Chain A
Amino acid sequence: MPSMHLSQIRRWLLQSPPVEWGIMQLRELLIGALRQGPIPQHVAFVMDGNRRFARTHGIETLEGHNLGFEALARILEVCYKSGVKVVTIYAFSIENFKRSKYEVDALMEMAKVKLSQLAQHGDLLDRYGACIKVLGQRELVKPDVLKAVDRAVAMTEHNKDAILNVCFPYTSHDEITTAIRDTVIEYSKPLPSQNRSFSESHIAHTIRSRHLSAATPKAGSHSPSLGATSDTEDSVPSASSSTTLHPESPSDPTPLDDDGDGKYRETYPDPETITPSILNDHMYTAGLPPLELLVRTSGVERLSDFLLWQCHQNTEIVFLETLWPEFDLWTFLPVLVEWQWKRRKGVERQLEIRNETDGRTLKIKDR
């Protein structure tokens, strides 16, 4: 078959050292060129198509996932070299637990192996300055896998240049629910009683003693002169006299006061102060730059419960036909270039609008 010969020759040619070197140089050049324009600060990938790739190429499902991992390594290199700060990947959905036990176990095993390998080469990751974060429901992961996860996370914690978010048992609905729950818990904690240097009981006492000192001379001056005191006047000194009778025990009425205050004092933060940004701070992605580009491979045009809160505003969402194991710089480059092109268009349009409005305000001022 001629096509087989051709493909063999092609492969032989592509694998010859000079060609390989040339391709590598070309990649470096292209990545360097990309850096000259704006680069999305936060990119997310839905790595879809490993299984279909395995099916169409007649290899085992697990092998497909392995190739998918290689594609991920390639694309991470491209991202970090071109200046992306945060990459978020959808590694495992909570829904994926519904797949066959064999596949789930194999995927977990793979995650464990890769993460423990990563931990063995901790200093190599430092060269990219990348740290790993795991987003998701930790409780659903088996303890041995969780140990590998924690080790890898701890190992790369100190790196600040770039972040790799691995969404591992994750769904966006779960994330939003957790954020709502955490916010509610935060807002149901009573505010701590303020420790100011003045005590309320002392102030109450001072007021009372002021009343006393003001009332006693009054009572003393009035009663002898008038002799018979009227009812209305009597009521005032009687109130103060009750305190004068026990000046050493002002604590007697205070517990009552404190009790009433105590109910009143358990103040909560005002729920009306909850804003989208507060909810945003309770998402797993709190503090990261906004998501600017979301790529989903294998032609499925759905978000499948991934980063819904983060991607529904100004994120550019791209659906590609390529299967994930085939995803590489050559398929990612057009996406990035188009993103840069749109960004430039957007900036131009904004400038135009600003110029127009500026011109109009000038005209108005002229009038």
Chain B
Amino acid sequence: MVASRETKIYRQDARSKGSFLSPEQREDLLNPYLPAPPLSRTPAPALRKRRSQPVKTFLKQQLHLLVFIIIHTLFSVYIRIRQTYHILLDRVFAILYYHHRAPELIRQDVKNLSRIPGHLSVILELKGEERGTAALGALMDEVAEISAWCSCVGIPMLSVYERTGILKAYIPTTHRTVTKKLHNYFGRYIPSLQVRAPHVPSYLNGGSSEEGGVSILSGHLSILLLSAEDGRSTLVDLTKTLAEMSQRKKLCPTDISLDLVDAEITESVMGEPDLLVLFGPSVELQGYPPWQVRLTEVYHMQDNTGVGYQVFLRALHNYAKASMRLGR
């Protein structure tokens, strides 16, 4: 914090590209705002002063501690209020914008948006690591719900990041769950569905199912399951391969360019998503593939917990730079 007089002089100096003031004048300008020079530099006066300082420093520290406690008390009150407000707002939105599992209603909600992401990515969390199958079921249901909304809106590509990668072990089950959910939304004819994961050879292409058929008119959705392995480990794997090639003289290290890495990473995992939606209370990427989030729009709702249609919808509105009003 610098007083206004000094600021004015400084700005005049800056405008003239540093020719207005001499170095000494500039130092004089700054001097009152600098912390004391380090003790090691000035041993003699510091020793004399130190005798009177312990009491002063102690009192000062107590004062700081007091202010710290006050700030944090006030802050926890503030954050409780904020959380309550956000929960209430969330409920209101959830009631106003309920999808009723009807693709028509969902399409109505996004009708006026100027753009829709071509590749949507979400970060989900496996809740309660110890409960096992119940947590897995809940996670799968979330994936299915989001997939259904995506196919209603017309987003062709959905990537689901979950840190532990448990879903990768249940690709057929996931496919079955999502298909069921799609039948729930669309009725007899559902969009074709593909579920896959990087580095996993088996992928399922949606085809016949006992309940109904796949209609080409309803579009196509492909779901990509990601985990922490697809982040740093993939880059490490690429480095390993490149190092091996270079050792066998199949490649010169100078050939390694940004485009090469980008092409390889895109090929082996995925390209950059257009929109990343977080359902947690704050922005934390939890190990999400780093290479791909370069220009991705990140959406999160403050203090939000859990997957909800209103969050999804607000993310889309935010992406299209449209504001969502209370009421349709």
Contact = CB atoms under 8 A, between A and B. Distances in A.
Contact of B294 (A24, A70, A126, A308): A308
B242 A180 contact: yes
A138 interface: no
Given A74-B1, A185-B253, A302-B297, A117 B18 contact: yes
B39 to A, nearest CB: 11
Interface stretch (B71-79, B94-102, B136-144, B152-160): B71-79
Size class of A's contact patch?
35 or more
Interface in A245-281: 268, 271-272, 274-276, 279
B71 A337 contact: yes
A147 B284 CA distance: 39
Contacts of A304: 294-295
A301 B288 CA distance: 16
B4 A312 contact: no
A214 interface: no
A184 B4 contact: no
B62 to A, nearest CB: 10
A276 B232 contact: yes
B297 A301 contact: yes
A270 B294 CA distance: 31
A66 B11 contact: yes
B289 A312 contact: yes
Nearest to B252: A188
Interface in B191-240: 231-233, 235-236, 238-240
Interface stretch (A29-37, A47-55, A230-238): A29-37
B18 A187 contact: no
B34 interface: yes
Interface string A298-342: 000111110011011111111100000000010000100110111
A177 B257 contact: yes
A349 interface: no
Given A271-B244, A318-B283, A180 B238 contact: yes
Contacts of B295: 302-305
Interface of A is mostly: helix
Contact of B35 (A34, A81, A274, A317): A81
A219 interface: no
Interface in B18-35: 18, 23, 26-27, 30, 33-35
Given A113-B17, A337-B71, A36 B64 contact: yes
A234 to B, nearest CB: 45
Interface in A133-190: 172-174, 176-177, 180-181, 183-185, 187-188
A238 B23 CA distance: 90
B283 A317 contact: yes
Interface in B290-325: 290-291, 293-299, 318
Nearest to A121: B27
Contacts of B285: 311-313, 315, 317
B239 A188 contact: no
A315 B207 CA distance: 42
Nearest to B33: A77
Contacts of B297: 301-302
A222 interface: no
Nearest to B7: A70
A272 B200 CA distance: 21
A15 B7 CA distance: 11
Given A187-B243, A279-B239, A37 B72 contact: yes
Interface string A57-94: 00000000010011000100100010000000000000
B233 A276 contact: yes
A188 B241 CA distance: 12
Contacts of B166: none
A271 B26 contact: no
B219 to A, nearest CB: 28
A244 interface: no
A301 B23 contact: no
B236 A187 contact: no
B60 A337 contact: no
Given A33-B67, A279-B236, A127 B38 contact: yes
A276 B236 CA distance: 6
A20 interface: yes
Contacts of B11: 66
B283 A316 contact: yes
A27 interface: yes
Contact of B67 (A29, A302, A311): A29
A185 B254 CA distance: 9
A23 B65 CA distance: 19
A341 B235 CA distance: 34
Contacts of A329: 1
29 contacts: A15-B3, A27-B1, A33-B64, A33-B67, A33-B68, A120-B23, A127-B35, A176-B235, A177-B261, A180-B238, A181-B254, A181-B256, A184-B239, A184-B242, A184-B253, A303-B293, A303-B298, A305-B294, A308-B290, A309-B290, A312-B287, A312-B288, A312-B290, A314-B284, A317-B282, A317-B285, A318-B283, A338-B75, A338-B79
- Which A-B residue pairs are the 8 nearest by beta carbons? A33-B67, A36-B68, A317-B283, A187-B243, A32-B64, A188-B246, A312-B290, A308-B290
Given A113-B18, A302-B296, 19 more contacts: A20-B4, A23-B1, A27-B1, A29-B63, A66-B15, A113-B17, A121-B23, A121-B27, A127-B34, A129-B38, A174-B258, A176-B261, A185-B246, A274-B236, A301-B299, A314-B284, A334-B75, A337-B75, A341-B72
